[in-house]
A and B are shown apart, each in its own frame.
Chain A
Amino acid sequence: MTLMTAEIQKNVWLEFSLHRVLGFFAVLFLVVWTHQAFGSGPESLSKTASHLFILLVLVWGTYRSAHCMSDETKARTWDWQRLSAISPWGLAFGKLIGTTLFNWFTGLFLLSLYAWAALQYLPMAQVVMNIALFVLGALLSQSAALLASLHVLCHRPYVSPRGNNIVYFILGLLVSIPFFNSIQMKMGFPPVIEWYGIFFDKSQFRLQFGFLYFIWMWLGLIWYMRSELKMHTGPWLWLGFSIFHLFYVAGFEGFGPSVPTVLFMSSLMLLVGSVLFGSWNGESYKRFLIQYNNKKYLTAADHFPAWVFSLILTGIAVIVNQVSEPANGLIYCTVLFYAIRDIAILHCFKLNRRFRRPIGTTLFYLFMLYVLIPVLLMSMKLSDYVAFICPFGGFTIDQQTLTMRPMACASGAIQALALSFYAYKVWKNNWSTHNQS
Chain B
Amino acid sequence: MIKVQSLDFEYFGKRVLYGVSFEVTRGSITALVGPNGAGKTTLMRVIAALETPYSGTVSVAGFDTVEQGREVHKRIGYLSDFFGVEPDLTVRQSLILAGKSHLIEGAQLHECVNQALAILEFTEATQNQKAGELSRGWRQRLGIAMAIIHKPELLILDEPASGLDPEARITLASVFKKLQADGMTLLVSSHILAELEDYCTEMLILREGRLTQHAASPNQRLQDIYMAQVANPS
Contacts and interface: CB of A to CB of B under 8 A. Distances in A.
Interface of A: 2, 4-6, 9-10, 13-14, 75-77, 79-86, 158, 229-231, 282-283, 286-287, 290, 294, 296, 298-299, 353, 435, 437
A316 to B, nearest CB: 32
Central interface residue in A76, A84, A283, A296, by most chain B CB within 10 Å: A84
Contacts of B12: 158, 283
Contact of B70 (A75, A229, A290, A294): A229
A283 B48 CA distance: 21
Interface stretch (B31-39, B71-79, B161-169, B223-231): B71-79
B182 interface: no
A14 B80 contact: no
Given A79-B78, A79-B83, A298-B67, 20 more contacts: A9-B97, A10-B86, A13-B89, A14-B86, A14-B89, A79-B50, A79-B80, A80-B146, A82-B73, A83-B78, A85-B73, A229-B70, A230-B69, A283-B13, A287-B54, A299-B67, A435-B13, A435-B14, A435-B15, A437-B15
Contacts of A75: 84, 86
Contacts of A81: 101
Given A283-B13, A287-B54, A85 B103 contact: yes
B93 interface: yes
A229 B54 contact: no
16 contacts: A9-B97, A75-B84, A76-B82, A77-B85, A80-B84, A80-B146, A81-B101, A83-B78, A84-B102, A85-B74, A85-B101, A230-B49, A230-B70, A231-B70, A299-B66, A435-B10
A231 to B, nearest CB: 6
Interface of B: 8, 10, 12-15, 18-19, 48-50, 52, 54-55, 65-67, 69-70, 73-74, 76-78, 80, 82-86, 88-89, 93, 96-98, 100-103, 105, 146, 150
A80 B77 CA distance: 9
A86 B105 CA distance: 13
A353 to B, nearest CB: 5
A355 to B, nearest CB: 11
Contact of A86 (B80, B84, B101): B101
Contacts of B98: 6, 80
Choose among A2, A6, A14, A298 the residue with the greatest number of B CB atoms under 10 Å from its CB. A6
Contacts of B49: 230
Contact of B100 (A9, A158, A231, A282): A9
B13 A353 contact: yes
Contacts of A231: 69-70
Contacts of A86: 101, 103
Most buried by A among B76, B82, B97, B98: B97
B130 to A, nearest CB: 11
B91 to A, nearest CB: 13
A437 B39 CA distance: 15
Nearest to B20: A437
A80 to B, nearest CB: 7
B96 A84 contact: no
Contacts of A290: 54-55
Contacts of B50: 79, 82-83, 230
Contacts of A229: 69-70, 73
B73 A10 contact: no
Given A76-B80, A83-B76, A283-B13, A230 B103 contact: no
Contacts of B65: 230
B67 A76 contact: no
A436 B140 CA distance: 38
B83 A76 contact: yes
A74 to B, nearest CB: 8
A298 B70 CA distance: 16
Contacts of B80: 76, 79
Nearest to A353: B13
Contact of B66 (A13, A76, A230): A230
A2 B101 CA distance: 12
Given A79-B80, A283-B12, A437-B19, A6 B66 contact: no
A83 B79 CA distance: 10
A158 B12 CA distance: 9
Contacts of B8: 437
A4 B213 CA distance: 48
Contacts of A353: 13
A85 B93 CA distance: 18
Nearest to B82: A76
B84 A6 contact: no
B138 to A, nearest CB: 17
Contacts of A294: 55
A136 to B, nearest CB: 29
A4 B49 CA distance: 27
Ranked 10 nearest A-B pairs via Cβ: A76-B84, A84-B101, A230-B69, A6-B100, A6-B101, A437-B18, A75-B84, A77-B84, A85-B103, A85-B102
